[in-house]
Amino acid sequence: MIDNKYNWKFTFTYHSNFWGSTLLTYTGKKGINHALSIANGNMNWDAADNLMLHKRKRIGSVNDSDINKVERYDLKKRFPEKYFEC
């Protein structure tokens, strides 16, 4: 897999009837296909559905080192006043 010049931050949400809504961010140089496969794997692990990509943002400058980081947040705990159903 060829890396991009820039690090990209992809933000996804998905919803599970058991766990509630989850915000997932992937940051790295692997691109949208890799980010979608990670988000889809996390969504399937949580037995969730309704995966949505909310934004894609370029991070850093050309040829920075690969960050390759995944973060997950429960929307009820992180944003209780802004909680929404997906």
Q: Convert the pLDDT of each residue in 22-79 to its tens digit.
A: 999 999 999 999 999 999 999 999 899 999 999 999 998 888 888 899 999 888 766 5
- Give pLDDT, residue 19: 80
- Give pLDDT, residue 25: 94
- Give pLDDT, residue 78: 60
Which of 27, 34, 24 is CA-nearest to residue 86? 24
User: What are the domain boundaries of the chain?
Assistant: 7-82
Say if residue 3's pLDDT is above 90.
Answer: no
- Give pLDDT, residue 74: 86
User: Using the 8-state DSSP alphabet, how is residue 22 labeled?
Assistant: E
Backbone angles phi, psi at 64, to 5 degrees: -65, 160
